[in-house]
């Protein structure tokens, strides 16, 4: 017993004390009933002196101002106290002793010891399965005061507060093992089928207490879990301290003991002996993919726990080996499959992985190793954050890119950031926001280090350039060549080829002394944009010199509208020949051409149209282009033709897939006043609502050239 020789003046009061202990104590951790708990709040008045408490009076008095939230407890004034033998006898009232005992229980056992010891362990579910686990917990705790409460009063040895003392330390707080003891550790309420084999003697070291418990399964079980409590006897030395850096002054108060205290609760989970298994699921990975960013759940299949097929939420799959994704071929990815419920239950699987082109721009080089050697591959990876990576491609080597081009630029690649722009003017020598170029004598892999993986946005533009015809685009493992220099828009569907730099430029004629206004009116005819609906001629950037009869040149700007709605502009240098007025072509042409279809059977009908030569020379007439206009999408299956009524020659103007090629000759007028008569014919395809009038528009561009 911690406290002895309590003398109560009446049996009624003793009974009341026992009743209050059972009602107010939150955890009964002692075999013997400890003193009744009192509040740890501030005492605002003096407690009775020792002389008053030992007087012969047997009347009961109230202890006032213990707390505003607890019922006042009647305590006899006549109390005989016998303190612990190893502590100096102190002038401690019973109320303070109650608070010290209760605070130590809460501070150390409830808030420090139990959370540290309580844990989950696993134990095999078959007879004879054993489990050994070690318990480690702090051997001390502390409570804070305010200098005017029970701590400052219990430390004063008088009826006055000593405001210097604001902390109460329990146990081995200062590296004093003699102030802490844990004995008689045992197990309470052991689950059925489990027995205790051993509990080692607790040891205190570095202000920590530790001991080891070994348990054994005595019957087979399918239960998933059970639990038991660890109990023991605890002795804590108590020390009041000022909290100064040197720790002085301090006052040892007295030991508090807790018999058969609950140290913590151990939950025992039955270990499932079934093993997790999985099969490899052959997978594909795009060139240049970061293997750490791949979700490997799809690399395995038929994942089971014993005979039970598991869903993906029951296990995890992680890569535990590395494999190269910077060149093509079959690789092996080693993955570990782990059961979430039991992280120690794992299996490892070797998965065959095929590295594919994906959506990539690939550059060739000199074939030292035979075959279609590649020297750089720029792969577009889609996702929430699209990006472009660089890799080797076809072969794994570090030879020179191309020894025939020493000191010369062999390839370059540029990325243009249009995320915050609506348009960009492009030139062949414009550098991208990230750019790489390499000369022929450079080592392949060394050159690749110049490019950093680049996050991109849909609507950005890239330029690929190779000095030889070894610049290819791969889509779904199919290769296409788009020229030594090619531009692509980055879209959700991958690299999309742009055509603003691929228009065919031919020599044009301009009349002697033609004005800028006259040339502006004709600027659309100087560059052929047929077959490219999203490209238009914008304006002259430099006008040709028409002051004399000579060859000259002008600069004309065109614009291509991207899938994102943004615009790329590009300038062409166009050669011109300045000619005399009398060599200028003069013709009479219809300004509007109409056609119609009134039923499925009738086909397309149109009036007869005529082109008349008013020049002094022969004229060749060609269809230069046909461009879809307003509402043309209403008849997507239109097949439209023009027929020369003089010689019966037919030209296809519009098809559903716009596969027609221009320019195409309509006819020749050999002398002045000759004419070409033609009409339109064809059908509108599957369109069937002939009760509604629609008026789609198309722009027909005619081309006239001298014939002699």
Q: pLDDT at residue 352 above 80? A: yes
**CB 165 within 8 Å of CB 151:** yes
Mean pLDDT of the 72-91 span:
36
| More confident site: 3 or 124 | 124
Sorted by where each begins, the domain ranges of the chain are 94-269, 276-356, 359-498, 508-579, 587-706
The least confident of 278-282, 450-454, 699-703 is 699-703
Provide the CB-side half-sphere exposure for 318 (13 A, CA): 8
Mean pLDDT of the 654-682 span:
90
Provide the CB-side half-sphere exposure for 327 (13 A, CA): 13
Q: pLDDT at residue 5 above 50? A: no
| The dihedral sign for the CA sequence 59, 63, 64, 69 | negative
Largest CA distance in the chain: 150
| More confident site: 451 or 685 | 451
pLDDT of residue 244: 74
Could you tell me the pLDDT band of residue 99, with boundaries at 50, 70 and 90?
very high
Peptide bond preceding 249 in cis form (omega within 30 of 0) = yes
Could you tell me the pLDDT band of residue 581, with boundaries at 50, 70 and 90?
confident
CATH of 587-706, one of 2.40.128, 2.60.40, 1.10.1200, 3.40.50: 2.60.40
Q: Do 587-706 and 276-356 have the same topology in CATH?
A: yes
**CB 623 within 8 Å of CB 703:** yes
pLDDT of residue 402: 96
Question: What residues pair up with 558 in beta bridges, in sequence order?
Answer: 537, 570
Using alpha carbons, select from 469, 463, 413 the residue that is nearest to residue 438: 413
Could you tell me the pLDDT band of residue 76, with boundaries at 50, 70 and 90?
very low
Q: pLDDT at residue 25 above 60? A: no
**β 256-271/119-124 pair status:** parallel
- Residue 43: count other Cβ atoms within 10 Å of its Cβ: 25
How far is the CA of 632 from the CAs of 284, 531, 623, 655, 695, in angstroms?
A: 43, 15, 19, 12, 8
pLDDT tens-digit profile of 397-434? 999 999 999 999 999 999 999 999 999 999 999 999 99
pLDDT of residue 223: 62
Mean pLDDT of the 545-552 span:
95
Residues in contact with 620: Cβ distance below 8 Å, sequence separation at least 6, in sequence order? 665, 667, 668, 704, 705, 706, 707
pLDDT tens-digit profile of 126-181? 889 999 999 999 999 999 999 999 999 999 878 899 999 999 999 998 889 999 99
Is 673 exposed, middle or buried (CB count within 10 Å of its CB: 0-12, 13-18, 19+)?
A: exposed
pLDDT of residue 357: 97
Peptide bond preceding 481 in cis form (omega within 30 of 0) = no
Distance CA 126, CA 294 (A): 39
Return phi, psi of residue 525, to 5°: -85, -10
User: Which helix H or strand E contains 13, and what residues bound it?
Assistant: helix 11-24
pLDDT of residue 582: 66
State the CATH architecture for 276-356: Sandwich (2.60)
| More confident site: 167 or 43 | 167
Check residue 106 and report its DSSP letter: I
Q: pLDDT at residue 71 above 50? A: no
Q: pLDDT at residue 7 above 80? A: no
| More confident site: 80 or 169 | 169
**CB 12 within 8 Å of CB 126:** no
Distance CA 531, CA 635 (A): 18
3-state secondary structure of 219: coil
pTM, to two decimals: 0.54
Token pair in block for residue 534? 């999203």
Considering 298-302, 530-534, 612-616, 635-639, the range whose residues carry the highest mean pLDDT is 298-302
pLDDT of residue 313: 96
Residues in contact with 564: Cβ distance below 8 Å, sequence separation at least 6, in sequence order? 418, 458, 459, 489, 491
**CB 628 within 8 Å of CB 675:** no
């Amino acid at each position: 017993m911690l406290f002895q020789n309590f003398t109560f003046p009446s049996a009624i009061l003793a009974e009341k004390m026992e009743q209050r202990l059972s009602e107010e104590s939150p955890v009964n951790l002692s075999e013997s009933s400890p003193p009744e708990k009192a509040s740890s709040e501030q005492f605002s008045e003096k407690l009775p002196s020792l002389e008053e408490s030992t007087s012969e009076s047997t009347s009961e008095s109230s202890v006032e101002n213990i707390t505003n939230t607890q019922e006042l407890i009647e305590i006899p004034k006549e109390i005989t106290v016998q303190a612990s033998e190893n502590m100096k006898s102190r002038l401690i009232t019973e109320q303070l002793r109650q608070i010290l005992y209760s605070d130590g229980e809460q501070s150390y056992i409830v808030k420090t010891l139990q959370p540290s010891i309580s844990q989950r362990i696993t134990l095999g579910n078959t007879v004879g399965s054993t489990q050994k686990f070690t318990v480690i917990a702090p051997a001390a705790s502390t409570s804070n005061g305010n200098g005017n409460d029970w701590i400052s009063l219990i430390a004063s040895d008088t009826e006055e507060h000593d405001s210097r003392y604001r902390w109460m330390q329990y146990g081995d707080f200062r590296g004093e093992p003699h102030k802490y003891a844990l004995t008689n550790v045992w197990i309470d309420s052991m689950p059925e089928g489990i027995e205790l084999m051993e509990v080692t003697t607790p040891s205190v070291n570095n202000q920590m207490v530790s001991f080891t418990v070994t348990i054994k399964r005595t019957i087979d079980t399918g239960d998933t879990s059970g639990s038991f409590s660890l109990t023991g006897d605890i002795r804590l030395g108590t020390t009041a301290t000022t909290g100064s850096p040197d720790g002085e002054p301090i006052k040892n108060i007295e030991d508090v003991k807790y018999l058969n205290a609950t140290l913590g609760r151990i939950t025992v989970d039955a270990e499932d002996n079934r093993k997790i298994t999985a099969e490899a699921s052959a997978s594909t990975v795009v060139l240049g993919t970061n293997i750490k960013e791949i979700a490997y759940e799809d690399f395995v299949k038929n994942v089971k726990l014993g005979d039970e097929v598991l869903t993906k939420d029951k296990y995890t799959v992680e890569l535990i080996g590395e494999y190269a994704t910077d060149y093509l071929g079959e690789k092996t990815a080693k993955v570990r499959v782990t059961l979430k419920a039991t992280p120690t239950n794992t299996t490892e699987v070797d998965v065959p992985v095929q590295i594919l082109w994906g959506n990539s721009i690939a550059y060739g080089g000199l074939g030292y190793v035979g075959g279609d050697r590649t020297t750089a591959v720029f792969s577009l990876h889609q996702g929430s954050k699209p990006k472009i990576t660089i890799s080797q491609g076809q072969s794994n080597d570090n030879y020179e890119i191309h020894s025939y081009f020493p000191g010369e630029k062999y390839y370059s690649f540029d990325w243009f950031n249009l995320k915050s722009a609506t348009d960009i003017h492009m030139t062949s020598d414009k550098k991208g926001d990230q750019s790489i170029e390499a000369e022929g004598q450079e080592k392949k892999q060394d050159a690749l280090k110049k490019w950093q993986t680049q996050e991109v946005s849909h609507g950005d533009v890239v330029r690929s350039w190779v000095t030889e015809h070894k610049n290819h685009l791969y889509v779904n493992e199919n290769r296409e060549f788009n020229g030594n220099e090619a531009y692509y828009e980055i879209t959700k569907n991958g690299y999309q080829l742009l055509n603003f730099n691929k228009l065919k430029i031919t020599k044009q004629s301009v009349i002697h002394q033609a004005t800028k206004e006259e040339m502006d009116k004709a600027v659309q005819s100087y560059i052929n944009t047929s077959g490219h609906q999203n490209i238009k001629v914008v304006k002259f950037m430099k006008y040709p010199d028409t002051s004399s009869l000579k060859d000259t040149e002008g600069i004309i700007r065109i614009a291509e509208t991207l899938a994102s709605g943004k615009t790329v502009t590009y300038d062409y240098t166009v050669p011109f020949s300045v000619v005399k007025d009398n060599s200028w072509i003069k013709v009479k042409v219809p300004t509007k051409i109409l056609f119609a279809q009134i039923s499925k059977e009738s086909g397309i009908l149109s009036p007869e149209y005529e082109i008349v030569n008013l020049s002094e020379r022969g004229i060749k007439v060609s269809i230069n282009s046909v461009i879809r206009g307003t509402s043309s999408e209403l008849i997507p299956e239109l097949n439209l033709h023009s027929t020369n009524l003089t010689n019966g020659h037919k030209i296809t103007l519009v098809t559903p897939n716009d596969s027609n090629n221009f320019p195409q000759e309509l006819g020749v007028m050999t002398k002045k006043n000759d004419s070409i008569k033609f009409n339109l014919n064809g059908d509108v395809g599957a369109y069937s609502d002939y009760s509604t009038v629609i008026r789609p528009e198309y722009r027909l561009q005619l081309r006239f050239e001298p014939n002699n």
